[in-house]
Each structure stands twice: as structure tokens, then as C-alpha cells.
Amino acid sequence: MTDFEPRQGLAVQVDRLVQIYTVDGQDVAALSGVSLSVPAGSVVALVGPSGAGKSTLLSVLSGLVPPSAGRVFLGDLDLARASTEQVDALRGDKVAVMVQDIDRNLLPYLTVRENVALTAPPRLRTAIRPADALEMVGVPEEDWNSPIDAVSPTVRQLTALASSVAPDPQLLLADEPTSSLTGDEARRITEALRTVNHERGTTIVAVTHDVDVAVGLGGRIVTIRDGRVGNDSTSFETTEIVVGEGGTVVLGAEFDEDFPPGTRLRIERDPANGAIILTRVEELR
Ligand SMILES: Nc1ncnc2c1ncn2[C@@H]1O[C@H](COP(=O)(O)OP(=O)(O)OP(=O)(O)O)[C@@H](O)[C@H]1O
């Protein structure tokens, strides 16, 4: 694989974070006191309805948006008190962001391998070789020299992930990493994220509206609603979420067949290995 030992993941500590946007002179609270602890090297899936504040939380964690109030620590660095230089250095070295619109992660006129090489110039001390990054996330070798426009949406998404992890970040923030993919295609992305976490020790915080993806990531599931943390799977043995408007998560129309609005899903921990098990409540009866 690479010549580098895995770096230790970066711990994230969010304490009573408030995030306010001013729109037409009015203050709108996108986050109203979020507290969340993400240990180094762990995986957290953030789920919640549209407008809950998930992307806002990722933007704050990425250092792009300074916190309005509350404390946010990435490792030892207090984002509210850090200088612009410190935040820039963090983003250049330790934190990678995979944005929701995959085409914003990629340049269309370059090949798969060239896209990854762009983010991992050899001068970066910790960079993983493009071929190693592509192999780690499972991009088939026959696609490496294809123009990015010519490969499947899944391979494009995996390439975006390879680009994000090529600089060997200690924290990966992923906004809807499976994008519009479903089923086996989405599972290829979640497996790739798990591999990155296992092989490199990277802390991963991923926003998803897909409950299967949240479970498939194999880490904690934290729900966010109206700018606040709802359920956190570390703090329950068993909990239920309800799909649909007015529920805990709103899923896209493509999920209606599997999880129609109103579906109750039970989330519990396997006492043997701590893995999360998802069951439809109707099927329990
Ligand atoms: N740049 C912005 N300016 C003003 N308001 C914003 C901005 N970004 C987000 N908001 C508002 O903040 C709230 C939280 O939005 P955010 O995008 O963080 O939610 P989300 O959970 O990521 O939703 P989605 O799943 O639709 O992306 C919403 O009310 C949204 O309208």
C-alpha cells in the first residue's frame, strides 16, 4: 500500500454550537446549541431532514464558516479562537471535505488518475500516491486512464473520494457521499469509506439522508433536527426513527418503495459486537 504509517485521526469536540445566518436583516439560527463528541478515528453519520442544519455543521467543522457561538475543537485547535492562518493550515493538511455535488470535486477534462494526482502533489509529505488512493477506495484499474466524464456515476463518486483522501487527511467531512446512488452502488461508497477509516485511521463525519448508508458506515448515527442533536446511537440501546415529513428523517422519493413515509425503523446495538442493526418495526410484529 503506501509508504506511510497511518496518521492518527483528528478528534472533534462541539460544545453548544450556535450558528446564525443573517438573511434580509433577519437572524436565522441554523444550529441552536449542538453538542457532539467525535473521538479520533471514529465514524459518525449525521442524519436528519432537509434544513436541519447538517451542511451548516459540516461547514463549521471544515473551518469555512466561523462559529457564531459555542466551542468547536478540531484536535487541540479551538476554531472560534484560531487565526486564519491556523485554519488554512488545518484545511490544507488535516481536514478534507467531499462536497455534495461530486462534479465540484472533479475536473471534467482530466482522467480519473489525473483528478486524484491534482490533490496529492508529491511535495505533500503525507500524500498517498494516486494509484494507492484509487486502489484503496476500489476504483477498477481499467478506469484509471478514462476521462472522468466517461466513467459511471459510482466510479466518479469513488474518484471524488480518492481525491479527498489522497492528501491523507486526519478528518474527512463528507456531505451526502453516496449522492443519488442507491443499493449496491451506494454500498460501494460506504465500503470505501470504511476502508479509509480502517486503513488510515481517518475520523469520518458523513451527512446522509439514507438510513441504509448511515447504518452501512458502521459507526455512530446521530440525528439532527431543527438545529439540535436528537438521537445519538452511543447513548441508547434501542431507539426508533420515523421516516417522512414530521418524522426524524426525510428520504428522497426513490426510497418510497423501501421506506414509505411513516415507516418506523428500530435501531439497536448488537450486544456481541456493538454493530448497529436496523429493523422495520412492522416486521417485528
Ligand atoms: N448560506 C446560508 N444563508 C442563509 N441561510 C442558510 C444558509 N445555509 C443554510 N441556511 C439555512 O440554515 C438552515 C439549515 O440549513 P442546512 O443546509 O445546514 O440544512 P441541511 O440539514 O444540510 O439540509 P439539506 O439536507 O437540505 O442540505 C436552513 O433553514 C437553511 O435555509
The angle, 0 to 180 degrees and rounded to 10, between the axes of the packed helices 183-200 and 130-137 is 130
4 occurs within a structural domain: no
pLDDT tens readout for residues 15-33: 999 999 988 888 888 999 9
| Cβ atoms of 222 and 214 closer than 8 Å | no
**Ligand 1 atom at minimal distance to the Cα of residue 59:** 18
What CATH number is associated with residue 109? 3.40.50.300
pLDDT, position 1: 47
Residues with CB under 6 A from ligand 1: 21, 23, 28, 30, 48, 50-56
Q: For strand 238-242 and strand 26-38, is the pairing parallel, antiparallel, or unpaired?
A: unpaired
In a domain, 114, yes or no: yes
Nearest-CA residue for atom 2 of ligand 1: 21
**Residue 67: helix, strand or coil by DSSP?**
coil
For residue 143, being part of any structural domain is answered with yes
Task: Flag whether 6 is in a domain.
Answer: no
Q: Is the pTM of this model over 0.95?
A: no
Q: Domain range holding 19?
A: 12-284
Query: What are the b/e assignments for 167-191, b being 16+ CB within 10 Å?
Result: bbbbbbbbbbbbbebbeebbbbbbe
Let me know if residue 2 belongs to a domain: no
User: How many domains in the chain?
Assistant: 1
Question: Distance, CA 54 to ligand 1 centroid (Å)?
Answer: 8
**Per-residue confidence in pLDDT tens, the chain, 285 aa:** 445 566 789 999 999 999 999 888 888 889 999 999 999 999 999 988 888 899 999 999 999 888 999 999 999 999 989 999 999 888 878 999 998 777 677 888 899 999 999 887 666 666 788 999 999 999 999 999 999 999 999 999 999 999 999 999 999 999 999 987 888 999 999 999 999 999 999 999 999 988 888 888 988 889 888 888 877 766 555 667 777 666 666 666 666 777 777 777 777 766 666 666 777 776 554
Check residue 279 and give its pLDDT.
Answer: 76
CA nearest ligand 1 atom 24, residue = 50
Predicted local distance difference test score (pLDDT) of residue 250: 60
Please report the pLDDT score of residue 143 as a whole number.
97
Instruction: Give a yes or no: residue 161 inside a domain.
Output: yes
